Structure 1
Amino acid sequence: MVGHRPLNPPDAPQAIGPYSQGISTGQMVFVSGQLPIDPSTGKLLADAPVEEQTRQVLRNVRAVLAADHLEMAQVVSTTVYLSDLADFERFNAAYAEFFTEGAPPARATVQVVRVPKDAKVEISAIAVR
């Protein structure tokens, strides 16, 4: 592939379909939607509250970024898919824990009918060097 390379670090969960965990191209990194899967076990945190699912998702985002030597402070945009917007405040509190340096990224948050594997949250991200 000319101009971009896949990021599939071992400390992030393996993709559940035919896609890369992230793509690095030029000054940008695109992180695919991450689920609350523990990479050490490969299991979804199915019964965990939305706060813990959010933390695991963002740890997975951080692992993909680290594979290309980036940090959470370099994330400029995220897209959040929640299975229930009633969880928004609890989600938001956990999300904020990961964006404490600099300006938080731009973000869209939407409720969806269903998140893959019946997770409560999925997050994709874009980072810039």
Structure 2
Amino acid sequence: MTTRDTETLADLMSERAGKRGTTLPTWEQVAVKAVDPVTGYQPSPNLLWKVASGQDVKINRKLVRAIAEAFALPLERVQIAAARQFIGLDVDDPWDTPVGDDDGVVRVAHDRARKGEDMPATKAAVERARRGRGE
């Protein structure tokens, strides 16, 4: 089992479907629910299986939205898992900002090897935006 900080789209999907001999739905059953609410696009059971098994597929917004719908998951969580799996990005707060009462949420997509101290220009942009809001 993975955590939300490390899960890929394959992890997220394979934990919820496709395991024969269990009560989890089949990919055919998942495909019925996998409909992009924006375009009506509906991926095939085979495409869903490919994504869940970690194969390279053409990833796009309508597929990601359809997967989020199929599993009733927040779209942002599915998008982050897809970014992690298909382009190798982590999406997080690389500065481990302490939690406060008036926090704005900052997430940065970055190469896994890069840490907050490796991104001074990004941190400066975040600080400028924060100052611009009067914080």
Q: How does the TM-score come out when normalised to structure 2?
A: 0.28
Q: Judging by fraction of residues, say which structure has more strand.
A: 1
Give the TM-score, by structure 1 length.
0.28
The structure with more radius of gyration: 2
Q: Which structure carries more relative contact order (alpha carbon 8 Å, separation 6+)?
A: 1
